[in-house]
Structure 1
Amino acid sequence: MEFFKYTKTFNFMGKSKLAMILSVVLVLASYALLATKGLNYGVDFAGGTIVQVKYDTTAPIDAMREKLKGNELFNNASITEFGAVDEVVIRMKSTTGDVTVDVGDVTREALKGTGNYEIRRVDIVGPTVGAELKEKGIMSLLLAMIGILIYVAFRFEWRFAVASIVALIHDISIALGAITLVGLDVNLDVLAALLTILGYSLNDTIIVFDRIREGVTSSKNTDLTEIINESITRTLARTTLTSLTTFFVVFTLFMFGGEIIHAFAFTLLVGVVVGTYSSIFVASPILLWFGFDVKGYHVKLAAKSQREAEKQRMRDQYESGIM
């Protein structure tokens, strides 16, 4: 079903240089933020302790700070609101080495006299475990990209594979820059969002590449620019509907999902927008810059068809007893 029908081919590649300039600026700005400000690793990767406390009225943050000063476990602890004025999280970079000590009980005892409250969550991650999680998280991103490179190279051609990887690096870089800019904690949920962005962006890119390959294979036109413009135009309705529906769902999670899913939803919001953009204005122009030869591709297809026909002829002769 087509909700949008286009009677003309849009000149996307005519805007590719301007789009690439914008992409380079955004990627370089992201790297600058990562180099100067750096990622704010959360408890999952940096190690530490998180205690979530909910009051029946507005949380007395100042009184809580005063109460916690008397306990060494809470040295340099930060207390911030967690989605509402009556709920806070206490973040500590340290962990207790005594397994017999219940951090929840210690917090409950330390906060006596600050009002009616309940300890809703206690998360403890040791520094060794945090470092291991961070290492495995980075490795998962790298392995995902290597797998994508092999898959696309096998399914299409090496130029398509390189274009896909460049687009994915572009998307992840800008997403990390946005996370750094707003100061989100990088935890396992953000890593999950980054891996989701890889899958979403790749799927969008593969749809466009399938159309381009179809155009290259079936069209008598040998102008790659025109083929790409026509292919993107033909997939524009699908891209628009997919991106908008995904965006609205993720935006709903971002607005109403609560603080605990805030970082995940924000990262996905950035990824949906940037991934849709990169499929059109990053991955496709790279095919042009790498000098993809339509005529040469036709020659390869003809040679491949000839080899397959020859194999089939020899197979038929063998089965008929001629050979």
Structure 2
Amino acid sequence: MRLLRYIPDDTKFGFMQYRRISFPLSAVLSVLTIVLFFAVGMNFGIDFRGGTLIEMQARNGVADPGSIRQTAGGLGFGDVEVQTFGGPDEVLMRFGLQGDSEQAQQSLVSAVRGAFEADYEFRRVEVVGPRVSGELVQSGTLGVVVAVLGVLIYLWFRFEWQFAVGAVIATLHDLVLTIGFFSITQLEFNMTSIAAILTIVGYSLNDTVVVYDRIREMLRKYKRLSLPDIIDIAINSTLSRTIMTATTTFLALLALAVFGGAVIESFSLAMIFGVVMGTYSSIFIAAPVLIYLGAKVGGEGEAGEKTQASAPQAAP
């Protein structure tokens, strides 16, 4: 029984000829992301800023954000953000930090309940104090750093140092551009966003390892070909798997983004962006990095962009 193949077995697309475009493009985007991060910043959620988030639903009729904002502002707890959430009868309120104590946050919740409980049902109340928000920032940052270091150590033992460095460069590329995605879209960056970033690290790593494993196999098999030609052969041989995996993952995440609601919106949209970037980086960043780092062909030091007389050229 023949397996269904979306990409013909004899595909010979020359991916490596585009490395002179992908590298400068990714470098420019990464620099712009860093500038954007410091110039615009990110829309940090309550998990990182601290404060109180309250979700309410009108008991009868439609919620009135204007009236809610006026009433909440008169409670004396500073500025309050009020926005519709989900349906027209649902509303979301965000209050800033109330002093340095947890009791001050709880006093705010009690006052809001007293003002709105008659007309609104309280569906969700999240209170994050300054100490907790600081710990969450540290834990989230530490989690990302440990994940990247784990990638480096794993690939160093699994392959060679060139593969480890290439995988870390590709992973950091995806992380930086994902941060840029949050800065541009101003999606709320909260703990689910950290989960999305760690998931993107795993997805990008998995895709990169699949390509690297085939490249290593081809390096041993074709000892008389140039390194760019060997990488092209390896990527073309895994292209069907890469496209099917990325497509099915994208469709599942698209369903989450459309039907999952605002609670997981930042997670699903970040994951969609991360899947696209992870697929791109495994082909156009992680693979060509091996050329510049001098990966060995056949384990005999025949590396670089030197073209052997017998090396077939990959068709664009």
- TM-score > 0.5 by shorter chain: yes
Partners in 2 of 1:97 and 1:294 — Cα distance? Answer: 61
Partners in 2 of 1:32 and 1:98 — Cα distance? Answer: 39
1:87 paired with 2:90, answer yes
Partners in 2 of 1:40 and 1:299 — Cα distance? Answer: 49
Cα distance, 1:21 vs. partner? 2.1
Query: How do residues 56-205 of structure 1 correspond to structure 2 at under 5 angstroms?
Result: 56-73=60-77, 75-95=78-98, 97-98=102-103, 101=106, 103-111=108-116, 116-205=119-208
Cα distance, 1:81 vs. partner? 1.9
Aligned length: 296
Q: Percent identity?
A: 37
Q: Choose 1 or 2 for highest CA Rg.
A: 1
Q: Hey, what does 1:36 align to over in structure 2?
A: 39
Partners in 2 of 1:185 and 1:100 — Cα distance? Answer: 21
Give the structure-2-normalised TM-score. Answer: 0.89
Cα distance, 1:112 vs. partner? 6.4
Cα distance, 1:102 vs. partner? 5.8
Partners in 2 of 1:6 and 1:222 — Cα distance? Answer: 19
Partners in 2 of 1:64 and 1:163 — Cα distance? Answer: 53
Partners in 2 of 1:258 and 1:221 — Cα distance? Answer: 55
Give the structure-1-normalised TM-score. Answer: 0.87
Structure with the largest fraction of helix: 1
1:9 paired with 2:12, answer yes
Q: Which runs of 5+ in 1 are unaligned?
A: 301-323
Q: Hey, what does 1:209 align to over in structure 2?
A: 212
Give the aligned residue type for 1:68.
A
Give the aligned residue type for 1:293.
K
- CA change 1:88–1:9 in 2 (3 A) is same
Give yes or no for contact 1:2–1:237 (8 Å, CA) kept in 2: no
Partners in 2 of 1:195 and 1:54 — Cα distance? Answer: 33
Cα distance, 1:190 vs. partner? 0.2
Cα distance, 1:89 vs. partner? 1.1
Query: How do residues 41-52 of structure 1 correspond to structure 2 at under 5 angstroms?
Result: 41-52=44-55
1:54 paired with 2:57, answer yes
Cα distance, 1:109 vs. partner? 2.1
Partners in 1 of 2:97 and 2:229 — Cα distance? Answer: 59
SS at match of 2:223: coil
Partners in 2 of 1:299 and 1:289 — Cα distance? Answer: 14
Question: Does 166-175 or 85-94 show the bigger shift?
Answer: 85-94
Partners in 2 of 1:275 and 1:128 — Cα distance? Answer: 34
Cα distance, 1:101 vs. partner? 4.5
Q: Hey, what does 1:266 align to over in structure 2?
A: 269
